[in-house]
Amino acid sequence: MKLYGSYTSPFVRHCRIVLLETNCACEFIETDQATSAVRSPTKRVPFLEDGDVFLTDSIAILKYLREKAGQSYLASTHELNQFCMVNTALDTTANLFFLERDGVDLTAYEYTRRQAARIESSLAELNQLDLPLHAPYNDVQLRLACYLYWALFRNRINIESHKNLQDFLSGIQQHQPFVKTAIPM
Ligand SMILES: N[C@@H](CCC(=O)N[C@@H](CS)C(=O)NCC(=O)O)C(=O)O
């Protein structure tokens, strides 16, 4: 099995955490944007190869890895909805990050202002979740931690007024699979 990705991507990190949690043997192949543009129709990382299986989105990859290990994945509608909310905030934050890096003034358009507002309202809602302070963590919580860590690393969000999120993030920074997949400094 081969996982293609970068060490900074929060989507890839979630897959790497699950590989560690499930003790699944997998080669990690560091992949830049030029390579993913050629190798994957989505032109993004992560993507995964396992014999005849070729998966091009972290959500499918996570389902594949959890099921291979006999574990459940986003089993309830409620959990799936929470996952979607975290993922929407992550996707939106990543889009604005790439747009700003390409020189777009994010305050100049109704669309980008609405994206920024979506991030703030999602963070406020996520701060209301019942979040654990130690393992075990489910895939909603792992996704949330990968998102918060990356968005803080990229200076895209401020969670000073969200104490629940801060405490959750402090706790998960003791979880070995999370520690071992930290963005290299
Ligand atoms: N929905 C995808 C999102 C993956 C994604 O956005 N990956 C980013 C890296 S963080 C990427 O490869 N972006 C390159 C681009 O958009 O050109 C997933 O969950 O795998």
Per-residue pLDDT tens digits of the chain, which is 185 residues long: 999 999 999 999 999 999 999 999 999 999 999 999 999 999 999 999 999 999 999 999 999 999 999 999 999 999 999 999 999 999 999 999 999 999 999 999 999 999 999 999 999 999 999 999 999 999 999 999 999 999 999 999 999 999 999 999 999 999 999 999 999 98
> What's the CA-to-centroid distance between 34 and ligand 1, angstroms?
13
Nearest residue by C-alpha to atom 6 in ligand 1: 44
| Pocket flag, ligand 1, residue 19 (CB < 6 Å) | no
Whether 14 and 142 have beta carbons less than 8 Å apart is answered as: yes
Residue 8 near ligand 1, beta carbon < 6 Å: no
Ligand 1 proximity of 94 Cβ (cutoff 6 Å): yes
Determine if ligand 1 sits within 6 Å of the CB of residue 57: yes
Give the nearest ligand 1 atom to 9 CA: 10
State how beta strands 2-5 and 53-55 pair.
unpaired
Size of the chain in residues: 185
The answer to whether 13 and 46 are in contact (CB under 8 A) is no
Distance 68 CA to ligand 1 centre (A): 23
Burial class of residue 12 in the structure, from the number of CB atoms within 10 Å of its CB (0-12 exposed, 13-18 middle, 19+ buried): buried
Edge-first strand order for the sheet with 27-30 is: 27-30, 2-5, 47-50, 53-55
Distance 56 CA to ligand 1 centre (A): 10
- Position of tokens 């699944």? 24
Residue ranges and CATH numbers for the domains of the chain are 2-68 (3.40.30.10), 77-175 (1.20.1050.10)
pTM higher than 0.85: yes
CA 180–ligand 1 middle distance (angstroms): 21
Q: Which two tokens stand for residue 75?
A: 């089993």
